[in-house]
Structure 1
Amino acid sequence: MKVSKILICTIISILAAGCAKKNLPTKNSEAISKTEQLSLLKQQTEANDPYVVDAKTQLLQIIGDKNFDNYVIKRGILNCKSDNTPSSCVLSFYLNENYKLKYDMQLKKVVEENQAEHNIELSKIKATENNIKNYCQYSADFVTAIYTKDTTKIKQYFQPQFKMSEQDILSLQTKIAKDNYSYFLIDENPSILQEIKVDYVEKCLSDPKKNIINYFNIFR
């Protein structure tokens, strides 16, 4: 009697396990099915329709090839299968996604630019007499470094100190490069650099806004 009960329980357990296995969701097959559906939809809508292909290419450039299929499936492109005009539906889908993503990117860029400007304002210092004197001296040293083409000092020290971009530095170097006379004097007598620095500081103190490099990004 006990043996038969054990056998019955064992059979029931096996059957229950079999049912459980049958009822498990087949996630892989569903994922493959959606991928296949998307592939068929692409073939159907991209054939002889350059507008769909172009809109898809634009979206690919934003999202990237690796994540493209997953992205469009999640966003609902497969709804176009049941549309009466699937090509128009897919085209509309691509255009809408392009618009949304580009808008989000532009919005993000504006926010980042505004934040950068805000950070610059917060980092500005007061135009006290002492700060003006210091930055006139720093500016003279900066100009001297450009005359002597001290690239390392310019990039590692002066660029961050004066809060300048690579383009700002290039513009300043181009401007100073036009001063052929000073370059001639320096070549003839390198010690004249000290006189150039002294003259620059004097000129700077008389008109700091004009002569302190990048003045309006440094002082409030």
Structure 2
Amino acid sequence: MKTKSIVLSFLIFVACADKSLEIKKSDIAELAKEFNLKRIEISSIPKGITPLKFNSVAEAKLFLSNRLFKEQPSKSVHSNARIAQNSSSNLATCANPLNAVYTQQVSAGILSSITFTSFTNYNYCGMSFASVNNISSTMTGATLGATYSQSNFSVNVTDTSISYTIYGSIDYYLFVEGGLNLWSQNISMGGSFTSQVIGTTGTSGGNPKGSIAPPKK
């Protein structure tokens, strides 16, 4: 009788364990579907990246639900978009390529903020913006488990202003219930700066402004 009780208890334990495993698999599948997670191999982790580890599906869902970026006022804006004007000539003299640097801080959910910085390399001829050579961007701050890559940019140049939009994506590497997952979020960062000529001499000051937001669907 005692042996039968032990066997019965063991069978009940195994059945409960199997049921619990089925529930976990179902929860993970639902999480993957909701946030479009992609299961990947450990060899896919970029060098220097430490994946974020979650002990439960609930923890991972809380994190992912709070990672959608929300626009925040910029805490630091820097620009060296200042061009000396030629007071003795109206010829369209072109300065060496110049750079404007714009920093935008955004909310990063339950972690601290992430900062995106854009670098605009442009040409200034005479008293007008002429062209943009390149725009690049970087991500710093609360970047544990994440990588950022810029995919493209669009730009509009007039005599007195440059406006742009940068497109990119953030990849998060997540361990959920022992499985490695990749979650990607597309973002766009927009900004602009203007040139204001004071009299016939002096400098032209860059006034960067902009915002970061998820791209429109």
Normalised by the size of structure 2, how large is the TM-score? Answer: 0.25
The structure number with the bigger radius of gyration is 1
Normalised by the size of structure 1, how large is the TM-score? Answer: 0.25
Higher strand share: 2
